[in-house]
Chain A
């Protein structure tokens, strides 16, 4: 491109060109130009990384600022006298928890009077300060501890999502103008209760360990049950895709003859890796549920679908790490009389193991974060409301998965669920980060270079 500067102009041979004095201390224009190009390229790289980092920081900031609220929760301290007569009456009705609400209402009115807080609100209005799950807390306790009936027990009951939102700064006074779940008058009461020490905001373990809750009580919802669902799905994925994937790639890489048929298989595997995950969901619905009659919404089916999705990833990474083992190792093993199988299982596979494990963990992490195929096999909705009892139930009884739960929360009407969705993202990210860090450590520690 810069030939003209190198060769003297051929037309003017009459005028002798003076000898150009060059020095290694002085840069000639060409070198300067090349150096500038390099500096520019470095700058572009830094800008690219900077943009990437900026978006990463913005994303993390959005996740943390929206989601950290889900990890704390407001509780109201109430001394509830448990009375055998009242409990017997409540147990006779159709909706038992509504009677327990009345018990809480009475106890709460006394509690307010004890703290010298006066209010003109009716018991029905005061109820709005509590989660509708509070009654179930009292009932479960009373039924589980019959010896405590007849005494007064101090409960820490969950406050309703609007009260919680007010203390977290999410709900403003002016937002409540047309809200029928809570009035500004309630907030005055909340302020008084806070200074009297009846309200407390603390770390919310039940978000991590709890089950999903219905639309009327976002404050009670937790990601625990769907975490268990994800765990069982990952077990299925691990125990199916690892052996199948590794066996397939060892055969393809070491034993299979090179012909059109194996080429076709290879092309198909690469293609499958790029198939949108929802396609696997449709396949799973048709094959596992409608044809094989496996139960709906079961982590087993979810795991099977995700296995199909993960297999290509594992096969490709396993083949790459098998290929990376130098042929001299195989030749040496064969040369001292090992059979082909011995050479592979005694020498090649152990050396390829770190790469295989890394590929598997990354495949699992990808499967853990997948929602789309689960939509079609019935794992999105109000599903993760029970913990499975036992290992078999863990595979067969309906459950959700973490990303599906996050998706579900993000759809719900109450803004408090939105906060939970971001909180769920934080939990999911922690899992994904742990898995990726394990993959990196494995690679760093065991990887060999030749």
Chain B
């Protein structure tokens, strides 16, 4: 008797939960993550709403790490379906996801994005940069006369005579942005190695890991400012500081060519062509991650992913390329992997 009461009570509870659940059934895809991917995702979401019978997906911004954290809170209708990221998901995040029950994740690479170094249009002539110059300007410890010393430079012209005689004022993305990681890897770390600082640090008795960490450190005396907001904030900072040099996405620069001028990096000017050809050194792939458990539960999820990577949208003549995305030459493989719902690690 008691057992049946318990069972029926449980059944009632489950039924009412199911009812509540169905009452809130969500019919649109929910996406969150990188503010770099947001413009592309919003363009696709809008076109998806226009061209299909599914409602327009909702895309939140907030940064790659914040988006992946949200993605990894669990499976269910009140969690997001897709996380946009301007960097690949980290091992740590995959583990956190698995602990919360998000086990099958589909990784989709949508294309490439260039990171450009731009300054005020009428400001000093910052036209050519190299990674070594950026490393020497921003690192707290640099190699000078064969010695590792505290960074003595206050002006770009002291870093390299070819640069303008202007105070160093760099505006770089904050650590919550995926862009920061690319900046560290492709600019600071490369500059560290090329300038010989890495070798000098290891020779000076540092372990290789410590030396690599020291390479991507950024000076904290105010010459370099972390921007935690979006590129518009960087633009505002540069607008008010003629000597400022900022780190932007290529698409953002292309929308603001009236205010900004862009510099070459290691002799290559940033453009969709040079990035696609792999000549421009500071570029990175953009991703989104799908919760496989939500496919079939949230209507339009798989269709959205397929629509996103279709040739008409993500191809070289599509609206994304027009906005500034460098389309992925291996798009066909991505399309096939979404079709087969291939998850990571398989």
Contacts and interface: CB of A to CB of B under 8 A. Distances in A.
B113 to A, nearest CB: 13
Nearest to A220: B46
A382 B59 contact: yes
Interface string B245-273: 00000011011111000000000000000
Nearest to B24: A295
B255 A381 contact: no
A375 B229 CA distance: 13
Interface string B93-126: 0000000000000000000000000000000000
A385 B46 contact: yes
B28 A397 contact: yes
B46 A214 contact: yes
B59 A179 contact: no
Contacts of B30: 296-297, 378, 398
B43 A215 contact: yes
Interface string A134-146: 0010010000000
A359 B76 CA distance: 40
B295 interface: no
Contacts of B313: 95
A178 interface: yes
Contacts of A76: none
Interface residues on B, range: 35 or more
Nearest to B306: A94
B45 interface: yes
Contacts of B46: 213-214, 217, 382, 385
B28 A177 contact: no
B56 A385 contact: yes
B308 to A, nearest CB: 11
Interface string B293-333: 00000000000000100101100001100110000000000
B196 interface: no
Interface in A280-317: 289-290, 293-297
Interface string A221-243: 00000000000000000000000
Nearest to B79: A296
A111 interface: no
Interface in B230-253: 230-232, 251-252
B39 interface: yes
B73 A290 contact: yes
Contacts of A30: none
Contact of A386 (B43, B49, B232, B319): B49
B310 A297 contact: no
A130 to B, nearest CB: 13
Contacts of B231: 413
Given A214-B39, A289-B78, A411 B230 contact: yes
Contact of B58 (A96, A179, A382, A396): A382
A381 B80 contact: no
Interface in B17-66: 24, 26, 28, 30, 32, 35, 38-39, 41-43, 45-47, 49-51, 55-56, 58-62
Contacts of A176: 258
A94 B43 contact: no
B61 A132 contact: no
Contacts, number: 129
A401 interface: no
A26 interface: no
Given A290-B73, A415-B255, A215 B323 contact: yes
Given A382-B59, A397-B28, A398-B28, A294 B78 contact: yes
Nearest to B312: A95
B167 interface: no
A87 interface: no
Contacts of A94: 51, 307, 310, 312
A411 B60 contact: no
Contact of B24 (A93, A139, A396): A396
Given A177-B257, A383-B60, A398-B28, A95 B35 contact: no
Nearest to A383: B58
A238 to B, nearest CB: 23
B77 interface: yes
B58 A216 contact: no
A410 interface: yes
Interface residues of A, number: 48
Interface string A145-186: 000000000000000000000000001100111111100000
Contacts of B58: 297, 378, 381-383, 385, 398
Contacts of B318: 95
Given A175-B257, A216-B43, A411-B232, A383 B78 contact: no
A93 B49 contact: no
A17 B247 CA distance: 83
B39 A293 contact: no
A261 to B, nearest CB: 36
A417 to B, nearest CB: 9
Contact of B51 (A95, A293, A386): A95
A383 B310 contact: no
A381 B60 contact: yes
A381 B32 contact: yes
Interface string A169-205: 0011001111111000000000000000000000000
Contact of A385 (B49, B62, B257): B49
Nearest to A98: B312
Nearest to B41: A382
A214 B45 CA distance: 8
A253 interface: no
Interface in A383-406: 383, 385-386, 396-398
Interface of A: 93-98, 132, 136, 139, 171-172, 175-181, 213-217, 289-290, 293-297, 375, 378, 380-383, 385-386, 396-398, 408, 410-415
7 contacts: A95-B47, A175-B257, A181-B254, A214-B46, A295-B77, A398-B30, A413-B232
Given A382-B60, A413-B231, A414-B255, 17 more contacts: A93-B312, A136-B50, A139-B50, A180-B254, A214-B39, A214-B42, A215-B43, A216-B323, A294-B78, A375-B62, A382-B42, A382-B46, A385-B49, A386-B56, A408-B61, A413-B232, A413-B252
Interface of B: 24, 26, 28, 30, 32, 35, 38-39, 41-43, 45-47, 49-51, 55-56, 58-62, 73, 76-80, 229-232, 251-252, 254-258, 307, 310, 312-313, 318-319, 322-323
